[in-house]
């Protein structure tokens, strides 16, 4: 039996409403290149990754220029114009679109285009940690702050016990067949692990990095730039 391959699937069909930029945030310039380009270059350069699939909106007007400006990505990256109404739909559409090119036992590393600080080392660490895992797993960070639940008046309603809590990152890595089934059955989940958990399985938590945070709000842009310039 051939060893399982590893593929990247990048959901990049959002609009970045919370960030409020004039263009979808995955195309915003960060440290001299579009946010999505950082992610594509990192995966394309990772020797463990067989191929990279990026899921964009059917009416995306940016990806063609981005790819044209990056001849080194040709042959390593395939654009899928199958973005959906939610992140879950975009990921599931992407999985279904590549069904003929990927075996059901191949690993899919699903990574947000909005997490440009990912490194090849983090990819390698996740793959190594899950090498013989029956379920799969995700990068995540143990919660270190005290957590409060607020009421509608922004007053503390309760302090939430933080021991054992982790903040989920991406990539989230699961076999194509399992992940497709899980996302098809799940009502509404905000990450791949959530769908797999609904099958009664327990994904493995692999420590990620603060630099791999998700660019979501306006103040995140400067922080992402700092991490990316440090990488230079
Ligand atoms: N229908 C959607 C929604 C989101 N995403 C992708 O999922 C990732 C994480 O989602 P998020 O940070 O929420 O991005 P947006 O949905 O663009 O942000 P917002 O919720 O502020 O609009 C992003 O790379 C985004 O492009 C997607 O592929 N398809
Ligand atoms: C997948 C994720 O990045 C894990 O933390 C997060 O759930 C995405 O949430 P979003 O609201 O779609 O950005």
pLDDT, mean of each 10-residue run, the chain (232 residues): 89 97 97 97 98 98 97 96 98 98 98 98 98 96 97 98 97 98 97 98 98 98 94 48
Residue 154 maps to a domain: yes
For ligand 2, pick from 11, 87, 108, 114 the residue to mutate: most ligand atoms within 8 Å of CB. Answer: 87
132 CA to centre of own chain: 22
CATH number at residue 93: 3.90.550.10
Which pLDDT does position 231 carry in this prediction? 53
Residue 10 maps to a domain: yes
Burial grade of 35 (CB within 10 A; 0-12, 13-18, 19 or more): buried
Q: Is the CB of 190 under 6 A from ligand 2?
A: yes
Tally of structural domains, the chain: 1
Nearest CA, atom 3, ligand 2: 169
Residue 187 maps to a domain: yes
Rounded (10°) angle between helices 120-129 and 35-45: 50
Q: Which domain holds residue 159?
A: 6-231
Residue 1 maps to a domain: no
CA atoms within 13 A on the CB side of 228: 25
ipTM above 0.90, yes or no: yes
Closest CA to 112 of 231, 219, 208, 45: 208
Q: Are 58 and 83 in contact (CB under 8 A)?
A: yes
Residue 13 maps to a domain: yes
Residue 131 maps to a domain: yes
Which pLDDT does position 232 carry in this prediction? 44
């Amino acid at each position: 039996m051939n060893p399982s391959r590893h593929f990247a699937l990048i959901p990049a069909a959002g609009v970045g409403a919370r960030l409020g930029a004039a263009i979808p945030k995955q195309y915003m310039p960060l440290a001299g290149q579009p946010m999505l380009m950082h992610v594509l270059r990192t995966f394309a350069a990772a020797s463990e990754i067989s191929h990279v699939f990026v899921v964009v909106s059917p009416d995306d007007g940016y990806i063609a220029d981005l790819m044209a400006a990056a001849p080194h990505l040709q042959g390593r990256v395939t654009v899928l114009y199958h973005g959906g109404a939610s992140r879950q739909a975009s990921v599931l559409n992407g999985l279904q679109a590549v069904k003929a090119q990927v075996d059901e036992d191949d690993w899919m590393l699903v990574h947000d285009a909005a997490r440009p600080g990912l490194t090849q080392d983090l990819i390698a660490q996740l793959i190594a940690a899950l090498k013989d895992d029956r379920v799969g797993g995700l990068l995540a960070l143990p919660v270190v702050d005290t957590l409060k639940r607020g009421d509608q008046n922004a007053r503390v309603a309760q302090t939430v016990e933080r021991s054992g809590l982790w903040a989920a990152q991406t990539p989230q890595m699961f076999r194509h067949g399992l992940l497709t089934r899980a996302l098809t059955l799940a009502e509404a989940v905000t990450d791949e692990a959530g769908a797999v958990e609904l099958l009664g399985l327990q994904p493995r938590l692999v420590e990620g990095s603060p630099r791999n945070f998700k660019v979501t709000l306006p103040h995140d842009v400067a922080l992402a730039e700092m991490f990316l310039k440090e990488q230079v």
